[in-house]
Amino acid sequence: MPEIFYSLPYLSIIRIGKDILIIYICTTSKIIMNKRLQQFLDAENITQSQLADSLGVARAGISHILAGRNKPGFDFIESLATKFPTLSLEWLITGKGRMYKSETQAIADPEPEKRIVKVVIFYDDNTFKEIF
């Protein structure tokens, strides 16, 4: 009787006999993720070239990812998350949830703290006084 020896979402090792193992690698997740990336491009109304330019990657790289020739690496996904903070990476990678994070989940760049460095008062007689 076959028993599952080891299993991950895209990899299974199944023991058939005492010395026989079958290793099964599922590649459909890559294809599905490519479709989700294309859905994101469609939702944002941007082309592959525009995405490549905005992320600073080669245009052919995006084409290869969408065609399934290459898998998106960590740097690509990190750049995508930085450029599009409302995109749900969980949805992109696993298909779970929604394409966009809710407003409370979206990571917004905090506005840098500003300091007053100079105050100038202008008078109606075209003179001014610098306070500090």
Q: Give the residue among 37, 96, 94 at the shortest CA–CA distance from 64.
A: 37
How many other C-beta atoms can be found within 10 angstroms of the C-beta atom of residue 85? Answer: 14
pLDDT of residue 95: 83
pLDDT of residue 132: 67
- Spell 70-79 as b/e; 16+ CB within 10 A means b: bebeeebeeb
Q: Is this structure's pTM higher than 0.85?
A: no
pLDDT of residue 20: 55
DSSP assignment letter at 56: T
pLDDT of residue 103: 60
User: What domains appear along the chain, each with residue ranges and CATH number?
Assistant: 29-132 (1.10.260.40)
Q: Is the separation of the CB atoms in 46 and 55 below 8 Å?
A: no
Question: Per-residue pLDDT for the chain (132 aa), expressed as one digit of tens each?
Answer: 445 444 455 555 555 556 655 555 555 544 478 889 999 999 999 999 999 999 999 999 999 888 888 888 888 888 898 899 899 888 888 888 889 987 654 445 556 777 777 787 778 888 888 876
The region, left, alpha or beta by phi > 0 then psi within -120 to 50, assigned to residue 90 is: alpha
Q: Give the residue among 113, 68, 62 at the shortest CA–CA distance from 83.
A: 62
Question: What's the angle, vertex CA 55, arms to CA 49 and CA 56, rounded to 5?
Answer: 85
Q: Give the residue among 39, 54, 40, 53 at the shortest CA–CA distance from 86.
A: 40
